[in-house]
Chains A and B, each alone.
Chain A
């Protein structure tokens, strides 16, 4: 006879001393866990509900400007600092952690239209409607008292006066040049009082400019003649131009896929393009109900934030047609500029009501240092939510957002309009000779031509 029975000694399965951790044994056999799928589903549902409960994205407003915020710039060298320029010529450096002004940069006579910081974060470049480009030394935030000193205004390092008013400025990601946009695109060097070179294509005003994060010599601009133009500094003339049906207010390159950029368009959509293939958009991001004023990619390249004339800020997935999140408050007016913070966890928006607003990038994220157990729990919740997000009950909870009434109505109206247009097109097609009318996809429809 061979016989063995289960026999467990208590010593083996319990802790030795009361200070020890309790011993944990695992057995992953599915038979021990009846109804595991139902349990998982209930957990997903609870996670979705908890997500809603903890969704408090607004952290605080930063007031100090006395006119609408027109532009902002991140400091690549300092996570806490953000520059903002307003329509009355005031430029301020803010400390995000304390939400206070660190220093003011006084000098512009008219509206500040463009702000950018150099790669090392030491020099701030600003330009405005007073036809000047100003270079400033960024105060180094080392000591705490320097923040609190009474005289916190900074004098410009250089002032370059030029022929025309400026609309935008952007610094090369890796290099010494910066580009301004106005009547034409000018490329500047830090220590030359005149542009090194100028590009011109057409007569209309260029309203935004962005350098490519991967290829330092490449830049994209948009102009008020509804065009998006690509330039290469190594060539004597602009390389390509794309004309759309409506004006593009701002452009942002995807920092992780630097061949792709997204354009914030006046027709309330954002269009993601592949710079190598401009005849159709890769993706149309719809949801805003009024002109999109500014756009900024998260440093992760997985999502971007947009600010719109409809007084809301939205967050989109880089490959998602609709927004993941909408932020709005009663007091926030038309949003002119938005920025993702350099650690991808905050969003700063600047609006017409002279305030900068600080938001969380993930509305229900728990801020601060997480214990490993907490982080594990959050990861688990995220995973089950993701697994069951297609089921109606979970989807309903996850998708629901409270919208201000005007935006809700405007969105409904837009839906009816697009639906009507689609139906009309369909009927026209049905009643014409086969093949005589071709429908162009939305990704191509808003493009007029592409010029080489």
Chain B
């Protein structure tokens, strides 16, 4: 019994690693190919099983959780102070408020391993914080408006969207590049695998720039000014939320959006993608938050409430922030209230961001930035080769080389990235041939002929000749649609013939061909 349970649990875990079901090999005619594919499927199964076993037995840490005991307790009633007292000291250090009233509101970005944080105050305050020991690595003042900041994942560079241009800074705070052709940028996003920095400027121009080669592309969205932009990390598609209530999705290869969906009756105020790429959350100014299934482009759930900012955590918790209030929702299909956090009255939340690989939510607001504990939000087990929170300098350098080697071309940004490496499906069969159509007609006639039943009519109207005539009528009625279609087809081909006739004639004789009246 116990063994069976264990195998069932393993099967559940395996599903994730199988990345979809096996192909149907039974329809294949080619035995050799069938054998090869069967062998490969077998290998996939084995590796998925090994990975599932690894997950079950060998993972070093377990995920966080917050559970209520008894029917009266609710998870959303717990205050941050309660949680802080219940957890260990090193975790409780993650609850803090940094009050910098002059330079706010603040926005922030975490590096992909959560090791560093870049914060930017609207009034020109830029800082890099090492999250391991909460040490400010570098801090400087650019003396102009800073609208957004984003980490570029190599060499710890970061980009800041400033008053007029976007700048790229080294971790020491030295300006490396000034990206003038982006214009006045409102929002920045970085596509890690493609080395692409995407920006939206105040004229609604979407700009892509490859930070390793410098190649750039710009598209007019034509939908007005917006500062709602997010990247779907699963496929690299950039989504923009517009003031008309539409959400558009873009890739750098096409000047028109891949998807344009009307999400709200009012401006879209925030947007976020679930890390599995299938779920999108949008918030509208008309007090609605909607969760969308991106495989079907359907609303899964509509929640009431405003949101200035939305963010999904690695484990799928959704955070929304409005005014001085942050709410965290949880669930898989159906999202419901999980935790609340109220800041001091008067603080305006600008930005919410979950810290990767930690149970921490960073809040950037008008009076500085804060950090709260959200148990169960982060991925407990990191992969040293993907993102390592304990990375040394040597490891980071080596990883940068590998990242550059695996740099993806912009063509790999598409709505369904699993299409890469597959062949086009066979086209549907073209129109039926003449013989096939005739056969179809014959079959229809035979079908009718077999079961013609005529009513017995009154005397004089039931003569054999009349009956035969009636039968013939029925048959012609059946034939009619087929014949009509046939009539339509040859007309086309006759037209074609005429044209070709003209071409085929020797030049000297072409003048005798019938000319069209119009020309």
A residues lining the B interface (CB < 8 Å): 1-10, 12-14, 22-35, 37-43, 46, 387-388, 390-391
Query: Is A39 a contact of B406 with CB atoms below 8 Å?
Result: yes
Chain A nearest CB from B100 CB (Å) reads 26
Query: Is B408 a contact of A6 with CB atoms below 8 Å?
Result: no
Chain A nearest CB from B110 CB (Å) reads 15
- What per-residue 1/0 map shows which CB atoms of B371-403 lie under 8 Å from chain A? 001010011111111111110100100000000
Q: Is B458 an interface residue (CB 8 A)?
A: no
Query: Is A1 a contact of B234 with CB atoms below 8 Å?
Result: no
Query: Chain B residues near A391 (CB, 8 Å)?
Result: 421
Query: Chain A residues near B67 (CB, 8 Å)?
Result: 1-3
Query: Is B380 a contact of A1 with CB atoms below 8 Å?
Result: no
Query: Is B379 a contact of A27 with CB atoms below 8 Å?
Result: yes
Query: Is A1 a contact of B384 with CB atoms below 8 Å?
Result: no
Query: Is B383 a contact of A26 with CB atoms below 8 Å?
Result: yes
Beyond the given A5-B91, A13-B60, A28-B54, please list 13 additional residue pairs across the A-B interface where CB-CB is below 8 A.
A2-B66, A5-B83, A6-B61, A8-B389, A12-B60, A13-B389, A27-B382, A31-B275, A35-B235, A35-B412, A42-B406, A42-B407, A43-B405
Chain B nearest CB from A219 CB (Å) reads 32
Q: Is B418 an interface residue (CB 8 A)?
A: yes
Q: Is B340 an interface residue (CB 8 A)?
A: no
Chain A nearest CB from B167 CB (Å) reads 27
A35 and B417 in contact, given A1-B69, A3-B87, A28-B51 (Cβ under 8 angstroms): yes
Which A residue sits closest to B314, measured CB to CB? A31
Query: Is B65 a contact of A3 with CB atoms below 8 Å?
Result: yes
**Partner of A26 from B276, B384, B392 at Cβ < 8 Å:** B384
A10 and B132 in contact, given A1-B66, A22-B392 (Cβ under 8 angstroms): yes
Which A residue sits closest to B86, measured CB to CB? A3
Query: Chain B residues near A27 (CB, 8 Å)?
Result: 55, 59, 379, 381-383, 386
Q: Is B78 an interface residue (CB 8 A)?
A: yes
Bound CA–CA A26/B236 (angstroms) = 24
Bound CA–CA A4/B90 (angstroms) = 12
Query: Is A1 a contact of B86 with CB atoms below 8 Å?
Result: yes
Chain A nearest CB from B7 CB (Å) reads 19
Bound CA–CA A8/B69 (angstroms) = 26
Interface residues on B, range: 35 or more
Bound CA–CA A35/B235 (angstroms) = 6
Bound CA–CA A202/B399 (angstroms) = 72
Query: Chain A residues near B420 (CB, 8 Å)?
Result: 37-38, 41
Of listed A4, A41, A388, residue having the most chain B CB within 10 A? A4
Chain B nearest CB from A137 CB (Å) reads 49
Query: Is B88 a contact of A7 with CB atoms below 8 Å?
Result: yes
Query: Chain A residues near B68 (CB, 8 Å)?
Result: 1
Query: Chain A residues near B69 (CB, 8 Å)?
Result: 1-2
Query: Is B66 a contact of A6 with CB atoms below 8 Å?
Result: no
- What per-residue 1/0 map shows which CB atoms of B392-436 lie under 8 Å from chain A? 100100000000011111001000011011010000000000000
Query: Chain A residues near B405 (CB, 8 Å)?
Result: 43, 46
Bound CA–CA A43/B55 (angstroms) = 26
Query: Is A4 a contact of B233 with CB atoms below 8 Å?
Result: no
Query: Chain A residues near B244 (CB, 8 Å)?
Result: none
**Partner of B87 from A7, A30, A34, A43 at Cβ < 8 Å:** A7
Query: Is A38 a contact of B90 with CB atoms below 8 Å?
Result: no
Chain A nearest CB from B404 CB (Å) reads 11
Query: Is A10 a contact of B193 with CB atoms below 8 Å?
Result: no
Query: Is A25 a contact of B381 with CB atoms below 8 Å?
Result: yes
Query: Is A32 a contact of B66 with CB atoms below 8 Å?
Result: no
Query: Chain A residues near B418 (CB, 8 Å)?
Result: 37
Query: Chain A residues near B412 (CB, 8 Å)?
Result: 35, 38, 41-42
Query: Chain A residues near B91 (CB, 8 Å)?
Result: 5-7
Q: Is B359 an interface residue (CB 8 A)?
A: yes
Q: Is B17 an interface residue (CB 8 A)?
A: yes
Interface secondary structure of B, over-half rule: loop
Of listed B59, B384, B418, B421, residue having the most chain A CB within 10 A? B421
Bound CA–CA A27/B379 (angstroms) = 10
Could you name 5 residue pairs across A and B whose Cβ atoms are closer than 8 Å? A3-B87, A8-B389, A10-B390, A14-B390, A34-B234
Query: Is B389 a contact of A34 with CB atoms below 8 Å?
Result: no
Chain A nearest CB from B251 CB (Å) reads 13
- What per-residue 1/0 map shows which CB atoms of B313-341 lie under 8 Å from chain A? 01000000000000000000000000000
Query: Is B382 a contact of A29 with CB atoms below 8 Å?
Result: no
Bound CA–CA A46/B420 (angstroms) = 16
Bound CA–CA A8/B94 (angstroms) = 12
Query: Chain B residues near A31 (CB, 8 Å)?
Result: 275-276, 314
Chain B nearest CB from A37 CB (Å) reads 5
Query: Is B408 a contact of A33 with CB atoms below 8 Å?
Result: no
Which A residue sits closest to B73, measured CB to CB? A1
Query: Chain A residues near B407 (CB, 8 Å)?
Result: 42
Query: Is A38 a contact of B82 with CB atoms below 8 Å?
Result: no
Query: Is A32 a contact of B193 with CB atoms below 8 Å?
Result: no
**Partner of B83 from A3, A23, A38, A46 at Cβ < 8 Å:** A3
Which A residue sits closest to B359, measured CB to CB? A5
Q: Is B277 an interface residue (CB 8 A)?
A: yes
Query: Is A6 a contact of B88 with CB atoms below 8 Å?
Result: no
Query: Is B193 a contact of A4 with CB atoms below 8 Å?
Result: no
Query: Is B17 a contact of A28 with CB atoms below 8 Å?
Result: yes
Chain A nearest CB from B382 CB (Å) reads 6
**Partner of B90 from A9, A14, A388 at Cβ < 8 Å:** A9
Bound CA–CA A7/B233 (angstroms) = 26
Q: Is B311 an interface residue (CB 8 A)?
A: no
The 5 closest A-B pairs by CB, nearest first: A38-B412, A5-B359, A5-B64, A28-B51, A27-B383
Query: Is B61 a contact of A30 with CB atoms below 8 Å?
Result: no
Of listed A5, A9, A35, residue having the most chain B CB within 10 A? A5
- What per-residue 1/0 map shows which CB atoms of B36-68 lie under 8 Å from chain A? 000000000000000100110001111111111
Q: Is B148 an interface residue (CB 8 A)?
A: no
**Partner of B408 from A3, A12, A39 at Cβ < 8 Å:** A39
Which B residue sits closest to A38, measured CB to CB? B412
**Partner of B383 from A23, A25, A46 at Cβ < 8 Å:** A25
Which of chain B's residues 123-155 have a Cβ closer than 8 Å to chain A? 132
Query: Is B375 a contact of A3 with CB atoms below 8 Å?
Result: yes
Bound CA–CA A1/B75 (angstroms) = 8
Query: Is B66 a contact of A3 with CB atoms below 8 Å?
Result: yes
Query: Chain A residues near B59 (CB, 8 Å)?
Result: 27
Query: Is B64 a contact of A30 with CB atoms below 8 Å?
Result: no
Bound CA–CA A372/B122 (angstroms) = 52
Chain B nearest CB from A28 CB (Å) reads 4
- What per-residue 1/0 map shows which CB atoms of B229-262 lie under 8 Å from chain A? 0000111100000000000000000000000000
Which B residue sits closest to A13, measured CB to CB? B390
Query: Is A29 a contact of B16 with CB atoms below 8 Å?
Result: yes
Query: Is A42 a contact of B408 with CB atoms below 8 Å?
Result: yes
Query: Is A22 a contact of B359 with CB atoms below 8 Å?
Result: no
Chain A nearest CB from B194 CB (Å) reads 9
Of listed A14, A25, A39, residue having the most chain B CB within 10 A? A25
Which A residue sits closest to B55, measured CB to CB? A28
Query: Chain A residues near B375 (CB, 8 Å)?
Result: 3-5
Chain B nearest CB from A348 CB (Å) reads 33
Q: Is B106 an interface residue (CB 8 A)?
A: no
